[in-house]
A and B are shown apart, each in its own frame.
Chain A
């Protein structure tokens, strides 16, 4: 082992700049591959989170995004119709507001939710209580806030705060009401996050325009089926119920399958585009490695001849150059991993796509590096083994 290490070290320091260039070339390819794998891993993890957050038995109806038809309104009446027709389901409606509060320069997001909302979503109450049936029935001016918002605004339980011109009392603090839907839905105003505040739907009339009050409009209806297996039939039934005057087409239907399909589509697009770039980087890195190794073999003809004269077989020479290539690609791969991890941490929060540095993201590039080292060193290794000592000495 010591002898092999000494040989490898000799090979590396024979032309240090050349070795560094080889490592750099592999590093670039491996960085792109690692980032691609991290994004793919992030998307897969996001898919799992989506299923967990949304639930495999929940679907969402939102106002439509199509511009070629007249959209129908989502109203409390439609919620009631769905609730009465879709037996065994839990149907919830909510409306969102952007309300100014005294402690914040920016308006905060207020979710006015009905009594069923927290039967579908179950955020952990860290202190106080959740909104209860009485709050919803009486339209009590009480609010539940996320722990982040309570911390940022320095709000305490029992504290009265002005939401616009209405005075609300904070009765509960909840943890992580955010949803994986956040980045998947085109309209983020319907998705709660760590700075969202929840109030009873019945208490929100003071923020609504007269037209909204008349129409009893809501921004979102969520339906939770008893079992995931019933989701498809329930969606079909809901579509039929809202199909009057082709209204079903006028809504956006978000199901776990549609969300997953979106994620999968995104995954495919990224795999094709970023994957092509990564592949190109890898091939470029590999060909750079190959050309530098060819130069190395040519410069080390006498050394090869010497090794052959002291008893090295062609296989020994092949092993030497293969090991050198694998070492260079491994070093490049580790450097690429470190660089990718650094870039990901640097762009944390600014990166548009989810990333996840799992075990496969670390191990796969190392395996690819070794395979790449073997593939791209094939030609230089063939050249090295083809050198006969007599010819090398004759041409010296």
Chain B
């Protein structure tokens, strides 16, 4: 079996990233390299990974084979060997497929979006590095190796948010993302250490952990599950660590599409699904996860209804959809959660890329109330985005309908009616804010009709079409049985616990009806308020929601300012009065001793002779008394 190819899924983008980085350095230092070279290498890497992944996928159909490839021993401490291992089970390979495929499409899109940028090669270096890290994250065979990828994607995210580094605000946004993720990673590391300590005796890969986990006491398991989820909160932008995600929109739009919508932010969901053997044993933590997800979903949807920046609307929408995924995985419906990750990757990437196309067409205008009337100017973008919007609002037969319906079904059938209600309300809000954006951007009356539309290259529109087809078809792999379909996703992940769906077909149909109704209510409100919206002037907003519930301000006052005060206290009080006194006092005492000693070097021969006498007498006395 050609298991070593698993390593190449990660290695190809990594090698490509390294060569792109070197070529970029060569290009800026010595002589210019054409953008075509960067494009070819950068784009081919994720697609090559995709095809390797596909070959493994085809081998897996119809059996439960798990491919493991241990490349070498990464850390060899006696008894605690950690291998650089890759493991492809059904979950990993599923993630690999859509990461590399959607990632590849976004690479193509980026080649159009960034083509006039002077850091073109650098951008693709970061992009490929990101894809490599993300693939390592999903293909790792142990949590430690996964953590390498986990940090790698965080690093690339930081690089790419701060990509336009001339503007200080972008750098702050990058720092914010990085720091918020550090907070989460701290919890993640604590969780890893604990699980290693209690269950890592026979090896630290998932298979051994799964075998050992049952022997750990439930209290410890709860602690581990909670700590690991703190990491997921940071990475997947849930309450309370979500503040970085809206600011992360400072990066170029392809970055938002790839990292902050389709792939990286779903790492938390993947992590929970990957540790399903752990979370199965601690349903209380699972419920906690589901509640965090539900309230993040609702919270983000409420904020999104008032935003004016097109990318921020989509950012909050991403957070909201991630909340849905956490509802599913928290309640044990891992396959449902991953299914939503999958469909979400298509339509959210499409939405971001469409938004990017509109932004480019309007010369980098991001306020939706300054857009308007784009339907006739960019019809292709309009149609593809409409498909994505229908998908996210959950209109059948588009992709989002099936996955969202299954999530709400999971919530309902688990008896968590609060979660279900929150989910349905969020669905109404989702439909409302998405169609608000669509109506304003594409139908709104704009009085500056004469303004020129910037050319949108083919490389930007082509991926839109592919993803639009994906957004229509992606849901078809998970049609529930009640509609005469055949839940391929559920069968693919059949090994996972899935005992919660005890509802009659009639209930299921009614729930579906409720979801569709919710979507249409949202669309209807948006239609009433914003269809043919008259944009004489940009509306001014105020109030609690527009200010995002003052969360940033609250964090600033209660955490950031406190930390600043602490550091001021340390630097001006403790450092000066305590540390400096010790260090400087030490050096002064050396100087003083030296001054005393140097007085002996007074060039007085008689004094020297005297000291010699003293020394010789001392030594002689010693010899006589001690040695005899």
Chains A and B belong together in one complex: no
A residues adjacent to B (C-beta < 8 A): none
